[in-house]
C-alpha cells in the first residue's frame, strides 16, 4: 500500500505524462510514465499509457514490453490484449497474434473485427479453410465491413465458389456502386467463370476511375478478345506489357487478336515474342500457331520448323502427322516424310483416319522409292 504522499506524487507525475501525451510529446510522456512505474510497478494505467506512447513513436519493442507487464496484472483486460494482438500482427508473428485474437474472442464473442483479423491471419498462413470460417462469422456479425467482404470473396474465388462470391459482391455494390475493389473482384469472378461479356461490362463501368494494373489490363484485353472487340483488346493488352516481368500470355493474346484481324505479319511477330518470353509449358502452343499461319501462307519450310519445335515441347503425337504431311510436300527426299509417318503410326494418337492415311501414304512412298532405283 502506497503512502498518501507518494501516491500524490505519482498522480502528479502521471497527470504530467498524460498532458505531454495529449500534446503529442510522446518522449516526454514516456519519461514521466517510467517515473511512475519506478515508484509503482503495479500501476496499470502508467503501463498502458507508456505502451501507447511507445506505439505512437513506432517503438514496437518497448510498447510490447509495457503491455506484457500490464497483461501480467490483468490478463483479461480487453484493451491491453487488443494492443498486444495488433503488435504481433504488425511484427508478422502470426502464431502469437492468433493466440491473442482467440483470447479476445473468448472474452467477447460479438466483436466482428476479431473474427476478421483471425481470417486475415489464417489467410497469410495459407490455411484457407480455417480463414473461411472466421470470415464467415465476421460477415454474419457485420456484413458491411469492407475488409471482411474483401477477404471472404478472395477465398471464395480461390475455391471457385464464384456464385456465392457474386451474391456477396452484388449486395456490397448495391450499397457502394463505384467501389473500385468490389468491382474488380466481381470482374475477376466473371472472368474465372468465363463470362467474358460480363467481365467487360464491369470493367467498362470503372474504366477511367482507375488506371488498370497489368493484371486487369490483361484480363480486360483477353475478355475483349473473346467477344471480338479486337482493337480495344489490342489496346489493353499492349497496356499490360508496360514494365511487365512476365509478358508471355499478353503477347500470345496479341498474336491471336492480330490473327483475327487477318494481320498475319503482326500475329507472327507477337507469337514469336511469346516464344522468346515463354517460361511455361505453353511454348509448344505458340510454335504451333506460327506453324499453322506459315502453312496457310504456303511457307512450308517455316511451318515444318515450328511444328518440330512444338513437338519437342509438347510431345503431342498429332504433330508428327503434320510434320510428315508437310515434309511429303516440301522435300524431294521422301525418306524424311516416311520417317515421320512411321513415328506417327507407332504413336499413341487414336485418330483412325490419320493412321490409315499415314500407313497407306508411307507404303506408297516406300514403293515409289524402290521403283526409282
Output the DSSP codes for 38-81.
Answer: HH-TT-HHHHHHHHHHHHHTT-HHHHHHHHHHHHHH-TT-HHHH
Across 47-74, b (16+ Cβ under 10 Å) vs e yields bbbbbbbbbeeebeebbbebbebbbeee
Distances (CA, A) of 146 to 82, 105, 116, 179, 312: 20, 20, 10, 10, 49
Whole-number Å distance between alpha carbons of 286 and 294:
13
The reported pLDDT for the residue numbered 370 is 76
Whole-number Å distance between alpha carbons of 337 and 344:
11
The reported pLDDT for the residue numbered 52 is 97
The reported pLDDT for the residue numbered 317 is 92
Q: Could you tell me how many helices (H) and strands (E) the chain has, helices first?
A: 21, 0
C-beta of residue 209 within 8 angstroms of C-beta of residue 178: yes
Considering only CA atoms, which of 320, 338, 318 is closest in space to residue 328?
338
Whole-number Å distance between alpha carbons of 254 and 207:
21
Strand partners, 210: 207
Whole-number Å distance between alpha carbons of 340 and 229:
40
C-beta of residue 318 within 8 angstroms of C-beta of residue 281: no
Q: Which residues of the chain have pLDDT under 70?
A: 1-3, 372-373
The reported pLDDT for the residue numbered 206 is 96
Max intra-chain CA distance, the chain: 124
Considering only CA atoms, which of 371, 323, 372 is closest in space to residue 349?
323
Whole-number Å distance between alpha carbons of 314 and 364:
29
C-beta of residue 129 within 8 angstroms of C-beta of residue 122: no
> In the numeric block, which cell numbers belong to residue 9?
506524487
> In the numeric block, which cell numbers belong to residue 185?
473482384
Whole-number Å distance between alpha carbons of 245 and 218:
13
Whole-number Å distance between alpha carbons of 235 and 212:
12
Distances (CA, A) of 370 to 139, 217, 231, 342: 80, 60, 56, 17
> In the numeric block, which cell numbers belong to residue 182?
468490389
> In the numeric block, which cell numbers belong to residue 245?
516481368
Whole-number Å distance between alpha carbons of 6 and 4:
6
Amino acid at each position: 500500500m502506497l503512502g498518501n504522499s507518494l501516491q500524490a506524487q505519482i498522480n502528479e507525475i502521471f497527470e504530467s505524462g498524460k498532458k505531454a501525451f495529449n500534446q503529442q510529446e510522446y518522449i516526454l510522456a514516456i519519461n514521466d510514465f517510467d517515473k511512475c512505474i519506478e515508484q509503482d510497478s503495479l500501476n496499470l494505467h502508467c503501463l498502458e499509457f507508456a505502451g501507447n506512447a511507445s506505439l505512437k513513436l513506432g517503438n514496437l519493442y518497448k510498447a510490447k514490453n509495457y503491455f506484457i507487464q500490464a497483461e501480467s496484472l490483468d490478463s483479461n483486460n480487453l484493451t491491453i490484449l487488443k494492443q498486444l494482438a495488433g503488435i504481433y500482427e504488425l511484427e508478422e508473428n502470426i502464431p502469437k497474434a492468433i493466440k491473442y485474437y482467440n483470447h479476445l474472442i473468448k472474452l467477447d464473442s460479438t466483436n466482428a473485427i476479431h473474427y476478421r483479423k483471425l481470417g486475415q491471419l489464417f489467410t497469410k498462413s495459407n490455411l484457407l479453410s480455417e480463414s473461411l470460417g472466421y470470415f464467415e462469422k465476421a460477415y454474419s456479425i457485420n456484413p458491411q465491413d469492407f475488409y471482411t467482404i474483401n477477404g471472404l470473396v478472395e477465398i471464395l474465388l480461390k475455391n471457385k465458389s464464384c456464385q456465392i462470391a457474386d451474391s456477396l459482391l452484388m449486395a456490397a455494390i448495391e450499397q457502394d456502386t463505384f467501389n473500385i475493389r468490389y468491382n474488380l473482384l466481381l470482374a475477376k469472378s466473371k472472368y474465372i467463370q468465363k463470362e467474358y461479356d460480363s467481365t467487360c461490362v464491369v470493367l467498362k463501368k470503372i474504366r477511367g476511375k482507375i488506371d488498370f494494373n497489368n493484371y486487369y489490363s490483361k484480363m480486360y484485353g483477353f475478355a475483349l478478345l473473346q467477344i471480338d472487340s479486337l482493337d480495344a483488346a489490342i489496346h489493353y493488352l499492349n497496356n499490360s506489357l508496360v514494365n511487365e516481368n512476365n509478358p508471355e500470355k499478353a503477347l500470345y493474346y496479341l498474336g491471336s487478336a492480330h490473327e483475327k484481324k487477318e494481320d498475319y505479319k503482326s500475329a507472327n511477330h507477337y507469337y514469336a515474342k511469346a516464344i522468346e518470353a515463354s517460361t511455361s509449358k505453353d511454348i509448344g502452343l505458340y510454335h504451333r500457331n506460327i506453324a499453322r499461319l506459315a502453312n496457310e501462307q504456303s511457307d512450308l519450310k517455316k511451318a515444318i520448323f515450328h511444328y518440330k519445335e512444338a513437338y519437342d515441347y509438347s510431345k503431342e503425337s498429332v504433330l508428327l502427322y503434320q510434320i510428315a504431311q508437310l515434309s511429303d510436300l516440301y522435300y524431294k527426299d521422301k525418306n524424311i516424310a516416311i520417317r515421320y509417318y512411321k513415328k506417327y503410326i507407332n504413336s499413341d494418337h487414336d485418330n483412325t483416319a490419320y493412321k490409315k492415311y499415314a500407313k497407306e501414304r508411307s507404303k506408297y512412298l516406300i514403293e515409289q522409292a524402290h521403283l526409282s532405283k
